[in-house]
Chain A
Amino acid sequence: MDTDEKLWLCAQAGDGQAFVELFDRHYRRVFNHSLRMVGSKENAEDVTATVFMEAWRKRHSVRMVNGTILPWLLVVANNTIRNWKRASHRHRHLLSRIPSPEYEPDPADEISERITTTDTDRAIRLSFGRLSRRDQEILSLCVVEELTTAEASKALRIPLGTVKSRLHRAKARLAGLVESLSAADAALVRSWS
C-alpha cells in the first residue's frame, strides 16, 4: 500500500486518483470528527467535503506527521468548522455539485440513542459542547482521535509544552463542567491519559 506521502506527491503531480485514495483512506475519521463538532450528519458530510477541498487549496502548506496526513486533515477540519460559513461560500460552486442528502428520519435512532447512551456519555458530550473551541480542538485531537501530544504538536505547529498545558487545562475545565453533573464522571475525565 502506498504511503500518504507518496499519494500526496502523486496528487500534487496531477493524479486525481491518488487524491481520491487519500480521501478514501481518511474521510471516515474526518467525517466522525466533524460529526462530533457540528452534530448533524448532513453538515458533517459538507464539512468533510470542504476539508478535502481546503486541503487541496492549501496543498502547499500540508504537513505530514509521522508519515500520515491525517493529523493535518483534522486540524484543517477544526479550522473549517470554525469558518465553515465562509469556507462554504468559497466552495459553494463545488458543493452545489454534490447531491442533496435524502435522509429519512428514523425514529429508531432516537430510541436507540436513549437506550444505548449512558449518563456518562451524555454528561461528557454536554460538557464538551460547552468548552471553548480551543479546548474542544485539543481534546478532540489528543483524546478522541488519540493523537500523541507530539503528533498534535506537529499538526498544530505549536510547542509540545503548549500542547501539554492546553490539554491539561482543557481536561480540567471539562472535568469541572462534568463535575457539576456527576462527581464520578469527572473522575473518569481526569483519569484520561
Chain B
Amino acid sequence: MKQDDEFDPRRLRAVRELLVAEVEKAGSAPDRRPRRLAVIGLAVAGSLALGVGLGASAGLLDPPTIPCLAECNPDPVAVPASPNPTAPSNDAYARIPADEIQFSESEADFDGNAHDDFLWDAHDPYYGFNRVPVVARVYIDTIDGGRIFSPIFDQYVYPQTVGKMTVLEVYKGDLKAGSQVNYARPGGIVTFDEYWDSLSQQQREKHLHFNNGQKPTGPKYMQKKLMDDIDIEAGNDYVVLLWPQSSKDGTFHEYFIDGFKFGLREAKGLGPETIALNNETGEWEPLGSLLKLP
C-alpha cells in the first residue's frame, strides 16, 4: 500500500506560513486553558452501556446516578455570534471557535451481539429496524447546538446534539411526511460550565485533582462523543432510527435518533432507488439491506 505522491510545494509553503502565523498569534495571547483535564470516558461509557441496555423508551442514555438540578437550563447551548463568516448558518457547531473546544471520546465496542452487553448488534442488519418504533428518511434542517440537561428526562444526560429535521419519507411507525420535528442525538458540544455542572462530586474531585485543586478555567466548550461514531451534518438526508419522546408535562416533543452510526445513515437517490451509506464499510447500500420494506 505504498504511495509515492508528493505534497504540492506551493501549498506546502502556504501551510508552513500559516502554521508560523498561528503559533505566533497564540504566543501573544493569554493562555486560558487548563493544565490538565481528567478524562472520564470510561465512566461515561459505562453509563452509556447501561442507558442503552435499559433503554425502555427512547434509547435512554442518561446516567441514572447523576442528580437532577431543577435550576438547569434545558435549552441548547447558546452559541456565540459567528467568528467565522464562512460557517454555515444552519450548523451552530461550525460557528464555535476551533480553539475553544476540548474533545473527549468515550470508549465502546459495537463488534459483538447486543445480548452479550455490546451497544448494538452489528451482525443483525435488521436489529435497528426491529428495535425502534419509527424509521424515516429525513432532511437535517439545522443543528441548533448541544445540551447536557434533558427536558425529556428532567436530568443530566450524556451530551446530545439537538436541532430540527424535516420528514421526507416514513418506512415504519406513526410520523407524517412533510412535517418538521425536533431531534436529539447522543454526542454533542456543550459549554464547559454546563459540563461542570453536570458532574457528580466524585467526578469534579477528579478534575480538581488533575488541576491543582482549581476548577479548570477553559476551554469554553466540551465535545463528547462515542468512539467511532459519526457526526450529524445539517443539509444532509439520512435514514434514521427514531424514538418519539416527550417531556413529563407534555409540552415538548422530539425524536431521539437511536443507534449511533447504525441509526444515522446518509441517504441519496429517490423512491426505490434510494441508497444509504454504511458507516462501517463506507459503501452505499440499497435500503432493503437495513429496512424491511413492504
Contact = CB atoms under 8 A, between A and B. Distances in A.
Contact of B16 (A23, A41, A56): A23
A97 B18 contact: yes
A16 B23 contact: yes
Given A11-B23, A41-B5, 8 more contacts: A14-B28, A15-B23, A16-B22, A17-B20, A56-B26, A92-B87, A99-B11, A128-B1
11 contacts: A16-B27, A23-B16, A27-B15, A35-B5, A49-B18, A52-B15, A53-B18, A56-B23, A83-B231, A86-B233, A89-B94
Nearest to A39: B3
Contacts of A97: 14, 18
Contacts, number: 138
A190 interface: no
B7 A48 contact: yes
Interface residues of B, number: 52
Interface in A84-115: 85-86, 89-94, 96-99, 101-103
Q: Name the residue in A86, A97, A124, A128 with the highest tally of chain B Cβ atoms < 10 Å from its Cβ.
A: A86
Nearest to A24: B16
Contacts of B27: 13-16
A92 B86 contact: yes
B174 interface: no
B88 A89 contact: yes
B87 A132 contact: no
A121 B207 CA distance: 48
A17 to B, nearest CB: 7
A101 B8 contact: yes
A interface majority secondary structure: helix
Contacts of A79: 103
Contacts of A58: 103
B34 A60 contact: yes
A81 to B, nearest CB: 11
A85 B91 CA distance: 12
B116 interface: no
Interface of A: 11, 13-20, 23-24, 27-28, 31-32, 35-36, 41, 44-45, 48-49, 52-54, 56-58, 60-61, 79, 82-83, 85-86, 89-94, 96-99, 101-103, 121, 124-125, 128-134, 144, 157-158, 169
Contact of B23 (A14, A31, A169): A14
Contacts of A54: 98
A121 B2 CA distance: 9
Contacts of A98: 11, 14-15, 18
A25 B159 CA distance: 38
A92 to B, nearest CB: 5
Interface string B1-45: 101010110111011101111111011100001110101000000
Contact of B1 (A24, A91, A102, A144): A144
Q: Which 4 A-B pairs have the closest CB atoms?
A: A14-B27, A16-B20, A90-B98, A16-B23
Nearest to A88: B94
B99 interface: yes
Contacts of A41: 5, 8
A31 B14 CA distance: 15
Interface stretch (B163-171, B269-277, B278-286): B278-286
A36 B228 contact: no
Contact of B24 (A14, A99, A144, A169): A14
B1 A16 contact: no
A28 B7 contact: yes
B111 interface: yes
B289 interface: no
A117 to B, nearest CB: 10
Contact of A56 (B12, B22, B91, B280): B22
Contacts of A103: 8
B22 A53 contact: yes
B66 interface: no
Contacts of A18: 23
B146 to A, nearest CB: 13
B165 to A, nearest CB: 18
